[in-house]
Amino acid sequence: MQLPEYYRNYKLDDFQQQAIVELLKGNSVLVSAPTGVGKTLIADYLIDQAIAKGDRIIYTAPIKALSNQKFKEFKTLHGPERVGIVTGDVVINPEAEITLMTTEIFRNILHQDIQRLEGVSHIVFDELHYLSDEERGTVWEESIIFMPSEMRLLGLSATIPNALELAGWIKEIKGHEVKVIVKKDRVVPLEHFIFEKHLGAATLKEIVKYRQGLEQKGMLAGLDKRKWESTHLDLIKHVSKTKGLPCLYFVFSRRLCELKAEELGYHRSFLSEAESRQAEEVCDRLIAEYGIGSLKTVVKACELLAKGIGYHHAGLLPALKEIVEVLFGMGLVKVMYATETFAVGINYPVKTVCFDSPSKFDGITFRPMTNLEYFQMAGRAGRRGIDPKGTVYILADLRGLRPEEFPSMDQEEIEPLKSQFNLTYNSVLNLNRNHDTEEITRILNQNFATYQARNDKKYFEQQLAREAQQLNQLSAGLCLERDNPQCPLIYFKLRQKLKKKQRRARFIKGRARAGITAEINELVKYLQEIKPAACSPERQQECSEQLQEWAELNQRVSLLQERTARIITSGRFNSDLQMKTEILEDLDYLKDGELLPRGEFAAQIYTQELLVTELYFSGYFHELDRDQLNAVMVAIDYEPRKGEFYPKNLPFNIKPIKTIIRNLIYRYGVDERDARFHPSVSNLAYLWSKGISFPDLLKEAGSIQEGDIVQAFRRGIDIMRQIRAACAGQDQIFATKLKECMDAMDRDLIKVNL
């Protein structure tokens, strides 16, 4: 099959051509390749071909920001009439030839309205390695399990070592060929360093050796912070001096992103006067467009942007994020401090990537970065066609250096994807809604976790067979007298035992002495009756080594037998299904596999489905006015950040909510994570619903960041959209009320601007 050498002015690499050929043959394709090598160009080609044939394409992304970005990009390329988007935030042209959506939305469509996918030939899963994400990986698995058999997928992933295993699973459950295209090398190679201000760019071994030398000389005594601490300023100075700008500097803390940017701004400006004026003009234009000129956070950020310094994290106002991204894309941000979210799919390559620490906060605790996380972020270094190489640094702290926390800089050591499949109550309800008992059993054995378990069991069984055979062969060659006391080795052990008892007897007094003396006399008499075999020292040494080898091998075989027996390859989730089914039956959601009214409602709710359903059926929602209802909705599933507390004087009665949550947890056994409610932003939502302006709202926000407010409000709108769809058939009055609530919230800076 002949393909053009160039596409959109890009020369297609071999891996891109291979992937396109397989897609055009009608196969599904997984592309495993480093960040920044051009994976999305394959999706672009596929989309062009689908449009030419009159097919539809769905493009899923792990985060709404990436869906929004691709929506804008595809509108420019293909025209707004051909592109649609469906997320929790917005629905535009949902039946378009190219439809962008989050993976969660695609999964929900599969459960609720699979007919909407008629005419869709392919689905693109961008960032497919999210399948290994602890919280959200299940969504990717369910999406693949339930997608129509005639649909083909294109999975784009960062480098993963077990792409063939993933493809094998998809082929098994979908019944068609799944080809794997692996690209290991980068067009722009990476150089990896650890940075310490006294050594400069070094290897981890050099840093460790240097620290050991300082400790031996006593030079680290007292740990003089100013003398020995390397800071981001030292690293940026080095990067700038070595002509390594623009630089993306990852900091795993929102607050520190801003503080470090401000600190750098006190010392440096990276733009010429002309560039600074250009940055100010862009800021002024977009600030006027969004009407955010009065916000202090915007003024502060734009002052830094005029110096070529930016910061980017989830707590920023979306409009401010866009200003930062526009300037970054124009090359006017030379140093960008960012959290991990900036690395997800957003195509902004730089010359250098820096890490403030080898550890990151994962929402619960600080832990070392995985190798996959490291390479996903490090892969932004090196601009294709501009830089001969990309450079990556991790900042080292001599005072608390822990070498084991640093990721491997060998791409071959990236962790394999591991299934994170788990059953939600919504999944259980939809399984019962759409499938009979026999089908549910079959489906629950189709997940990647079960497939991996079967592979693991097969691997360990093969290893066990090999080692058991070796053990049998070794056993056959052992001396037949090895267990008899005449064996010199056994005889020697008995003599050692006697000497040990004799030494102990010297210190024992009273009645116990008589007992141990009797044991000694008995052992002496026994040894006198034994005539050890006349084995040479060489023979004894040979026997000893054989017995040691046999003991070690026997222990490995025992462990393998135990490990193999523990691996469950069928019905892994039966107990979880049974437990959740019983809870749903106790709650009157389910009876004999049939959904009751509560169950029908909850099957259409994908966020805190039990809590939302109980609040709805208790009549609590109906008692609230528009503004109170908005205040409640933003608290459902809200995860407070450190330092956020229950506000005083809530605009609604929280007692009924607490009662429902207590019942779910303590009466029915629901996990606390499935009944989450925190009203940190409820008072703000109440004021916003009443019409307050955003600048005035921020005066009441305290430490809650603008971006968190926007996200919470949009999450509340999304939950109301789900409830409205679930109740529209039988409760039109409340559905109309929800529309009024959504309209009150979905305005000004909260409204998604696409």
> DSSP states of 550-562 as a string?
HHHHHHHHHHHHH
Q: How far is CA 175 from the centre of its chain?
A: 28
- What is d(CA 594, CA 599) in angstroms, rounded to the nearest whole number? 9
Q: Please check whether residue 126 lies inside any domain of the structure.
A: yes
Quote the pLDDT of residue 535.
77
Neighbours of 119 (CB within 10 A): 11
Is 144 in the same domain as 232?
Answer: no
| Cβ-Cβ contacts under 8 Å for 381 (sequence gap 6 or more) | 188, 190, 248, 349, 350, 351, 352, 353, 390, 391, 392
Q: Please check whether residue 65 lies inside any domain of the structure.
A: yes
- What is d(CA 311, CA 265) in angstroms, rounded to the nearest whole number? 11
Q: How far is CA 168 from the centre of its chain?
A: 22
- What is d(CA 624, CA 685) in angstroms, rounded to the nearest whole number? 14
Q: How many residues does the chain have?
A: 754
Q: Please check whether residue 350 lies inside any domain of the structure.
A: yes
Q: Please check whether residue 563 lies inside any domain of the structure.
A: no
Comparing CA positions, the residue from 157, 159, 179, 129 lying closest to residue 18 is 179
Tokens representing residue 204 in the block: 């981890």
| Cβ-Cβ contacts under 8 Å for 568 (sequence gap 6 or more) | 453
Strands 91-92 and 247-250: unpaired
Is 258 in the same domain as 124?
Answer: no
Boundary-marking domain end, from 162, 182, 202: 182
Strands 366-368 and 359-361: antiparallel
Neighbours of 561 (CB within 10 A): 15
Tokens representing residue 43 in the block: 């999706």
Comparing CA positions, the residue from 336, 204, 197 lying closest to residue 264 is 336
3-state secondary structure of 492: helix
Judged on CB neighbours under 10 Å (0-12, 13-18, 19+), 693 is middle
Is 389 in the same domain as 347?
Answer: yes
Is 225 in the same domain as 366?
Answer: yes
Q: CA dist 326 to 261, 399, 557, Å?
A: 18, 39, 60
Tokens representing residue 196 in the block: 């310490």
The amino acid at 302: C
**Where do the H-state alpha helices sit in 149-250?**
163-174, 204-216, 225-228, 232-241
Quote the pLDDT of residue 214.
78
| Cβ-Cβ contacts under 8 Å for 226 (sequence gap 6 or more) | none
Is 247 in the same domain as 378?
Answer: yes
Is 43 in the same domain as 150?
Answer: yes
CB 485 within 8 A of CB 494: yes
Quote the pLDDT of residue 533.
72
Is 290 in the same domain as 207?
Answer: yes
Q: Is 430 left (phi over 0), alpha (psi -120 to 50) or beta?
A: alpha
Quote the pLDDT of residue 363.
65
CB 676 within 8 A of CB 634: no
Ranges of the chain whose pLDDT falls below 70:
1-2, 220-226, 343-347, 362-364, 480-483, 488-491, 494, 523, 526-529, 754
Boundary-marking domain end, from 367, 391, 413: 413
CB 39 within 8 A of CB 163: no
- What is d(CA 448, CA 49) in angstroms, rounded to the nearest whole number? 31
Boundary-marking domain end, from 157, 182, 207: 182
CATH of the domain at 657: 1.10.3380.30
CB 264 within 8 A of CB 309: yes
CA 716-718-719 angle, to 5 degrees, is 65
- What is d(CA 283, CA 289) in angstroms, rounded to the nearest whole number? 10
Q: Please check whether residue 373 lies inside any domain of the structure.
A: yes
- What is d(CA 165, CA 418) in angstroms, rounded to the nearest whole number? 10
Omega before 403 within 30 of 0, i.e. cis: no
Sign of CA dihedral 105, 181, 163, 345: negative
Q: Please check whether residue 656 lies inside any domain of the structure.
A: yes
Q: Which domain holds residue 200?
A: 190-413
DSSP helix, strand, coil percent of the chain (3-state; round to 5):
55, 10, 35
Comparing CA positions, the residue from 340, 347, 175 lying closest to residue 254 is 340
pTM of the model: 0.86
Structurally, the chain folds into a number of domains equal to 4
Strands 335-338 and 247-250: parallel
Is 240 in the same domain as 307?
Answer: yes
Judged on CB neighbours under 10 Å (0-12, 13-18, 19+), 266 is exposed
- What is d(CA 277, CA 306) in angstroms, rounded to the nearest whole number? 7
CATH of the domain at 18: 3.40.50.300
Sign of CA dihedral 723, 726, 732, 736: positive
Judged on CB neighbours under 10 Å (0-12, 13-18, 19+), 314 is middle
Comparing CA positions, the residue from 341, 273, 315 lying closest to residue 64 is 341
Quote the pLDDT of residue 620.
97
Comparing CA positions, the residue from 700, 694, 691, 692 lying closest to residue 648 is 700
DSSP readout, 373-402? HHHHHHTTBS-TTT-S-EEEEEE--GGG--
Is 494 in the same domain as 610?
Answer: no
Q: Both ends of the chain: CA-CA distance in Å?
A: 39
Quote the pLDDT of residue 565.
85
Tokens 């009320």 belong to residue? 737
Is 169 in the same domain as 210?
Answer: no
- What is d(CA 287, CA 131) in angstroms, rounded to the nearest whole number? 38
466 HSE (CA, 13 A, CB side):
6
- What is d(CA 70, CA 58) in angstroms, rounded to the nearest whole number? 12
Tokens representing residue 645 in the block: 């507390």
CB 357 within 8 A of CB 252: yes
Q: Please check whether residue 736 lies inside any domain of the structure.
A: yes
Rg (CA), the chain: 32
Q: Please check whether residue 351 lies inside any domain of the structure.
A: yes
- What is d(CA 616, CA 630) in angstroms, rounded to the nearest whole number? 14
CB 38 within 8 A of CB 30: no
Is 178 in the same domain as 215?
Answer: no
Is 36 in the same domain as 110?
Answer: yes
| Cβ-Cβ contacts under 8 Å for 592 (sequence gap 6 or more) | none
